[in-house]
Structure formats: C-alpha cells, structure tokens
Amino acid sequence: MVIRAADEFRDQTTRPNELWQTDFTYLKVIGWGWFYLSTIFDDYCRDIIAWKLCTTMKAADVTDTLDLALEASGCDRATVVHKPRLLSDNGSSYVAADQADYLDGKGMDHVRGAPHHPQTQVKIERWHQTMKNRVLLENYYLPGNLERRTASHYRLPAMRRMTIFKQHAKTRYRWRRPSR
C-alpha cells in the first residue's frame, strides 16, 4: 500500500498568515550563559516572520516577538477577517494567562500541540535545528556576536525582502542575500 504525504496531513494551510508556529530554542554565550531565541514561523510560506534573542522565556518575550511579527507581516495595520492562528507547544510562556489575554486582544486564536508529540511543530523545530547547525559552529563570547550571526542566518529570498525591527539594543537588521 502506498500512502502519499498529502494523505497524511489534515487542515493544511492554504495562504500566508493563516497559521504561525512559535517556539523557543536555547543558545549559549560563553561567560554570559544561556540566551533564548523566540521565533515566529509562517506555516504556509515556511519563512521566519520575526525573531528576538531574549534572556528569559517569559510570556512578555513571546508577545514582543508577536508584535514584531504582526508589524513585519502588516497584520497590525490591515483589516483582515482572520488574524493568524498561533501554534505553540505547552511551555509556561505560551499557556500563561497574560499570553491568552494578549492573543484575545489581538483577535488571534491559539492552538497548542499535543504533549510529547514533536511532529506538531516539526517545521519550526527543523528550522531551529538547521539554524543551530550553522550558527553554533563557532564559540560566542558576547551576546551581540551571537545576535549578528543569528541575523545573518535569517535571510529571505529577494522577492520577500523586508526590514525586521528588533527591540534588543534598538537596532534594525535588513534582510540581504547570502554572500558567496
């Protein structure tokens, strides 16, 4: 019996900004400790919409990253019938009451993955794994060095160039093509 991949997926996304996946991943800076990368990933386009390097994994860090994603995607300015649904795991920052209030205020639905079921967020988990394989080939001694290297990994195709605003150090990063 042959099973096609399409037969295995229900409720596939059909347009950009329909479903956003979000997650944290850990990165270490020697002498500084652990930093946490909060990422918003568009399920349909398979692009990173926004990211933020954080010192904690609190609900406020998630809402800051969501604000960046809403701004970058234009969903904060456009009148849309359906705001993006947010898919996350069951981490404490995603199940917090503050997070639920924020999402209600923005008109966004929240879907949580099943516990111990990594396939739910396989796309963002794979993106983080690939990014770590590239970014963590070096040792980082300052948070700014890690942040610059992370920024160089998150590049979009030329058709989708945009400026992502980051709160950390009030700097702006402009997406660009990889240098060869």
pLDDT given for residue 38 in this prediction: 95
Flag whether 150 is in a domain: yes
Q: Residue 112: beta bridge partners?
A: 88
1 in any annotated domain:
no
Mean predicted lDDT score pLDDT of the chain? 79
Predicted TM-score (pTM) of this structure: 0.76
CATH of the domain at 140: 3.30.420.10
- Listed in order, strand segments (DSSP E) in 30-139 are 33-42, 47-54, 85-88, 110-112
Would 54 be classed as within a structural domain? yes
Q: Which domain holds residue 61?
A: 15-174
Residue 5 maps to a domain: no
Query: Going residue by residue through the chain (180 aa), what tens digit of pLDDT does each one get?
Result: 444 444 445 668 889 999 999 999 999 888 999 999 999 999 998 889 999 999 999 999 999 999 999 999 998 887 767 889 999 999 999 999 999 999 999 999 999 988 877 678 888 988 888 888 877 767 888 888 888 888 877 653 322 323 332 333 333 334 344 444
Task: State the Cα torsion 142-174-153-166 to the nearest 10°.
Answer: 50
Domain count within the chain: 1
Whether 60 is in a domain gets the answer yes
Predicted local distance difference test score (pLDDT) of residue 155 = 59
